[in-house]
Structures are given as structure tokens and as C-alpha cells.
Amino acid sequence: MSKDKSKILILGAKGMLGSDLKKIFNGANVTTWDRDEIDITMREALKKKINLLRPDIIINAAGYTNVDAAEDNQDLANQVNGYALNYLSEICYNLNATLVHYSTDYVFNGQNKSGYFESTEPSPINAYSRSKALGEKNILKSALDKYYIIRSAWLFGPSVAVPCKNFVNTILDLAQKRSLLKVVNDQYGSPSYALDLAQKTKEILDDNLPFGIYHFTNRGKTTWYLFAKQIVKQGLKQGLIKKPVAKIIPCTSEEYPLPAERPHYTVLINTKLSKGRTWKKALRDYINSEF
């Protein structure tokens, strides 16, 4: 069946990635559900509702994404990010459907400064990342062989939810409200524009790429501090924020403690897909188009 005739179900449709997936996968054969329509942790209800729809492709952009809150809500994080993938894998297997699921750079411990390949074994260090690694494991150990696990990192983009919470929006807001911002400068990664990830997902499906694990981020690596500096620079250039703006200074992770430990170096190495545009270009386009 050609992808333009496939019946596609998008889960988590109101989130950052889900919002852009809706833009990219638009058409009569696309159904979009969020938490209001379905709870992916309720196995029997999930099975019943999806079996009635009978999609050819399920794109799972639903997830528990609050890294720090997961430390106190490990059971919920595991249910949403981990055990629900047992249910979705089983449903897809029985329907002969394809499952697309998104994972994260945080499944790695961040100790390898050479970066992480698609085949690298996960080594999570906090509750959130353990729940995401559990989700991957549950797909891999299931009977389903028609799946794509796409790992990405440092995601930014729009959201149907109000207010939209992501690092870019937060920095644009705080840069105007505060005189000083401390941002960690010892954690390295690759920012990813949700729209680019959604477009790459469509390319993977349209091109019938082999099933398996993929890595996709925008090109280039940075730190949260340097990312914040670029956000303010673009915000000033586009007139979203006006001088004076907060002074942004670097700090260490130890100087900015959070409930969940963060990995220090989680650059994902992409060996299977065409490379994305640079994160700076993606950031510029996001700011130009969304504000």
C-alpha cells in the first residue's frame, strides 16, 4: 500500500512533535488523538479503539517528558514511556501495522565524547531516561518487526498546548524578564526542530527504509549556554525581544542542581539518514515562522 493511501494514526497530537506531525501528515487518511481521546496506558481501551480504526501506521508521539518530575513519578513515567509500548507493539503486530516511536539521546549516560551510534546499548542515568529505554526494550523484545524507533534530542517547536514549554520559548521569555540568566555550559547535544523531525519521519516512511533504530537531530553540537546565546541573538534580530536583555553567563551542572541527573555528552551519530540542516538555521526558521 502506498503511503499516501495508508491510514495513519498520530498519538500525542497536541504536543510539540505531534503538532508538527499533523502539519506534515495532512490528509483524509490521518487521524490524530491526544490524551483527551485516548490513554495509551489503558491496554484494553487502547486495543479496542485502535482496532476499530484499523490504521496501517501508528506514529506514537505521546510521552511523559518532564525529566525532573519523573524522579518522583517513576511509575507514571514507566507506564507512559515504557509499558504502553508493549500494548502498541502488540496492537500493531495483530493489525500488521507499522509502529513509529520516538526516543531520546538521554537513554545514554553521556560519558562518550565520541557520540552514540544507533547500535549503541542504552545506559540511562535517571528515571525519565530509564522509562524511555524501557519503551525501546519492549518494542525490540516484542513479536513486532515492522517498527521504527527514532531517537532525537533537545527538541523545540510549537504546541497546541498553551503555554508552549520548550527551551527556546523559555529563554525568549526570561531574557526580557530577568537581568541575569545562568545556563549550564558542560552538557553537549544537538538541538532538534520538531518540524524537521516530522518531515524526516515522513521521508522514512515514504522511502520504505529498513525497519530499525534511527538517529535524527539538526546538524551541529552545542551546549545549553551557547544555545541560549543564539536564541537571544535571533530574538533580538527578529524583534521578539528588545534591549536591554538579560546577561547570560555560563555555569556548571553542579552550580545549577536539578532533581534528575543529566548526561554531559549525548551527541547522536546519524549513519542511516540524510543529514538535517544546522540547528542554527532551524532555530532561525522556527523563530521566524512561529512568532
Query: Domain residues of the chain, as ranges?
Result: 8-161+190-221+266-277
Please give the pLDDT value at position 1: 45
Above 90 in pLDDT, residue 279? yes
Three cell numbers written together for 41: 496506558
What's the pTM value of the predicted model, to 2 decimals?
0.95
Residue 223 DSSP one-character state: E
pLDDT in tens, 126-184: 999 999 999 999 999 999 999 999 999 999 998 766 556 789 999 999 999 999 999 99
Q: Is 251 left (phi over 0), alpha (psi -120 to 50) or beta?
A: beta
Pair 116, 96: CB distance under 8 Å: no
Three cell numbers written together for 262: 543529566
Pair 173, 240: CB distance under 8 Å: no
Instruction: Select 8-161+190-221+266-277's CATH number: 3.10.450.50, 3.40.1390.10, 3.20.20.10, 3.40.50.720.
Output: 3.40.50.720
Q: What integer is the mean pLDDT of 12-41? A: 94
Three cell numbers written together for 138: 519492549
Catalytic residue annotation: 128
Q: What integer is the mean pLDDT of 73-77? A: 98
Q: What integer is the mean pLDDT of 50-71? A: 97
What sign does the dihedral 40-194-26-3 (CA atoms) show? negative
Q: Considering only residues 240 and 131, tell me which one the structure prediction assigns the higher pLDDT.
A: 131
Q: How far apart are CA 65 and CA 283, in angstroms?
A: 21
Please give the pLDDT value at position 161: 62
